[in-house]
A and B are shown apart, each in its own frame.
Chain A
Amino acid sequence: MIKRVTFRNLWLPYLLLLPQLAVTLIFFIWPAVQALYQSLLVEDAFGLSTEFVWFENFEALFSDPLYLDAFVNTVVFSFSVAFASMSLALLLAVMADRTIKGATAYKTLLIWPYAVAPAVAGVLWFFMFNPVVGINAYLLRGLGYDWNHYLDGGDAMILVVIAASWKQISYNFLFFLAGLQAIPRSLIEAAAIDGAGPFKRFWTIIFPLLSPTTFFLLVVNVVYAFFDTFGIIHATTEGGPAGATQILVYKVFSDGFIGLDLGGSAAQSVVLMAIVISLTVVQFRYIERRVEY
């Protein structure tokens, strides 16, 4: 049970809330309002001439077939990243949870990739899979697969998913491992005595008990794939070839910061904001119900 604290003084609770409210206002609400306003304007790069155009930027956006492609790409990309990074992290965490020799070193190594900046991770994978000089592309060619992410949209998508997931595995691993270690040994031992095999134990006891962690990670990973990955895309494929890896957040970045189309970019970020708000609502309303704390 949460302990309820009653404040006698009417002003004190507000005063205590003030710093948090100020931070929210300055860093979230104000920029969001700015983006909303900007999305209704057509403006040149220097801000010398501004015209209020109502919803023209949005109309242009939704009549652009490429924007709809970016939607599909985003869904494919975020689902793949969340799935790949979480399942691999869970596998690694389950293995690291056993008592093995040199577990600390093993765990430390697994956490390392998280410290790598997204752009660096992108460049790293870009080099390994580079069709001209990359070692992985060379090995794949040896296996009879002609890897070329400059030309093949599918290859490019796989590349950015690998690069984006690789970084996130460490983070997920940490949480899964902590979750696993919080499960009482006695439960698992009891099940083992009752004759349940490792798989049965995992699916009926461990995994359900991990569900709060899994849910938390699902939210974090989807938000990560939606917002934090433009550095990776920029460093590996720049949204290409032929727009195959153009995801929504990268389009916001490239239209706004490279193309200097501020109105269009703002309109896109408003759409993105709406998507993430509704995703969060769906997650907490429907998926959270299945989570047992």
Chain B
Amino acid sequence: MFNSKMIIAGMAGAFALSMASEAIAATEIQWWHAMGGRNGELVNEMAEGYNASQSEFKVVPVYKGTYTETMTAAIAAFRAKQQPHIVQVFEVGTATMMAAEGAVYPVYKLMEDTNTPFNQDDYLPAVVSYYTTPDNKLLSLPFNSSTPVMWYNKDALEKAGVTEVPSTWTEVFDASQKLVDSGMKCGFSFGWQSWVMVENFSAWHNIPMGTKENGFAGLDTEFVFNNDNVVNTLQKIADSSEKKLFQYGGRRGESLPMFTNGECGMWMNSSAYYGSMVQQAKFTFDQTMLPLNTDVADKAQNSIIGGATLWVLQGKPAAEYKGVAEFFNYISSPEVQARWHQETGYVPITTAAYELSKKQGFYDKNPGTDTAIKQLSLNTPTPNSKGIRFGNFVQVRDVINEEMEALWAGQKTAKEAMDTAVERGNALLRKFEKAND
């Protein structure tokens, strides 16, 4: 009962099988990441793009949940010797990853060992400096970085009679008073308060948050963010909440609706909220640089980043790391990076991608979207504005959050809150030092 149809079907089947076996022959590279939703689609697109560009390797992206979940999953997998090749880790996990010598494969070394062309100077200094050793060697590949900016409601400010966009804290308070007088519920709010109001405030005013170059130069570091500059600013903000100038709305992005509903006129948080703003805000909004406290510094230094990088884990066959290195090269290319930057609102990690976005007219069409990158590259990073590298920092951030909440609730003064935060934070640093020496 043979007929030509069956023969064709059989041939097609055999062909499909041979294709499949070819696909299996490509060495798989596991990539665990924390990008959900639209960002997750873009991540898959990147992997597909790379897989189509060559046939030797196949990058498999796996969504593992939140940043914390992804990191703990990778660590658990490492302990069980089932680790992925690449894992996306958020910036507060940097110290943990960095201390894990023998577990991570530093990017500079990976590129050397695999003879992959790689120039660290192609990357934005403010981004790359967060992830380098004290002698400037890159440990993990910058991937998605953002920085806090100040979002403002243009319509509301105009209505309240604020003619100039506030650029100092004094102006922020003045503008907030006018906003409240004009009938708004509050002047300003912010989220990710440890990141925005302590970490970035310190970097922006070029003051240290901790000793030893904010932890870059050694594990025996101590916090110093209970200095007068931070304390006075926070106290002023807490005092202003009595007049409804400031209203607290949660640790992360929970206060976003307060801004997009038109309750608060200004909001300091990550530049990566651009997409949400476009969707939700029914007024003209824009972003500007973080305000400066002129009592602390005459001019702004540069802000520091948040977001995540890609870390390579040890323990896989040497040949597979060639694929990892090539993949890193691919996703750093200007085209791939520019697309990622424009779609997500994260900053471009290479100068070339920034230039390409400029050439494509992205910033002309979307004004304000380059605020973040301008803020990051305002000046060459100093030891105070390079970034932070503190052990157990996930917990330390919680400590800072708790103490700041006590301040906003009026249970503590700024001085008391920051002193306690420093004391509790230092205890966590010592614990980390002990576990990793």
B281 within 8 A of A: no
A2 within 8 A of B: no
A193 within 8 A of B: no
Please indicate the chain A residues that have their CB under 8 angstroms from the CB of B408 in the complex: 151
Interface residues of A in 256-270 (CB under 8 A from B): 257-261, 263-264
A46 within 8 A of B: yes
Q: Do A44 and B248 touch across chains, with their CB atoms under 8 A apart?
A: no
Interface residues of B in 389-410 (CB under 8 A from A): 392, 394-395, 398, 401-403, 405-406, 408-409
A interface: dominant SS: loop
Q: Do A48 and B431 touch across chains, with their CB atoms under 8 A apart?
A: no
Please indicate the chain B residues that have their CB under 8 angstroms from the CB of A260 in the complex: 72, 75, 96, 392, 394
Closest approach, in angstroms, between the C-beta of B265 and any C-beta of chain A? 15
Name the residue of chain A whose CB is nearest to the CB of B75: A45
Interface residues of A in 226-261 (CB under 8 A from B): 238-243, 254-255, 257-261
B103 within 8 A of A: yes
Q: Do A48 and B405 touch across chains, with their CB atoms under 8 A apart?
A: no
Please indicate the chain A residues that have their CB under 8 angstroms from the CB of B96 in the complex: 44-45, 260
Q: Do B102 and A48 touch across chains, with their CB atoms under 8 A apart?
A: yes
Q: Do A132 and B402 touch across chains, with their CB atoms under 8 A apart?
A: no
Q: Do B257 and A242 touch across chains, with their CB atoms under 8 A apart?
A: no
Which of A43, A66, A240, A264 meets B401, CB within 8 Å?
Answer: A240
B interface: dominant SS: helix
Name the residue of chain A whose CB is nearest to the CB of B100: A46
B218 within 8 A of A: no
Q: Do B248 and A151 touch across chains, with their CB atoms under 8 A apart?
A: yes
Q: Do B395 and A243 touch across chains, with their CB atoms under 8 A apart?
A: no
Please indicate the chain B residues that have their CB under 8 angstroms from the CB of A242 in the complex: 402-403, 405-406, 409, 411
Q: Do A132 and B100 touch across chains, with their CB atoms under 8 A apart?
A: no
Which of A46, A51, A240, A257 meets B402, CB within 8 Å?
Answer: A240
Which of B101, B249, B403, B427 meets A132, CB within 8 Å?
Answer: B249
> Which 5 A/B pairs are nearest by Cβ-Cβ distance?
A241-B405, A259-B395, A242-B406, A242-B405, A46-B100
A-B contact pairs, 29 of them (CB 8 A): A42-B434, A44-B99, A45-B75, A46-B75, A46-B100, A46-B103, A48-B102, A51-B434, A51-B435, A130-B254, A131-B249, A132-B254, A132-B255, A133-B261, A150-B248, A150-B254, A151-B248, A151-B409, A153-B409, A238-B251, A238-B398, A240-B401, A242-B402, A243-B402, A259-B395, A259-B398, A260-B392, A260-B394, A261-B431
Q: Which residues of A contact B (CB under 8 A)?
A: 42-49, 51, 60, 66, 130-133, 150-153, 238-243, 254-255, 257-261, 263-264
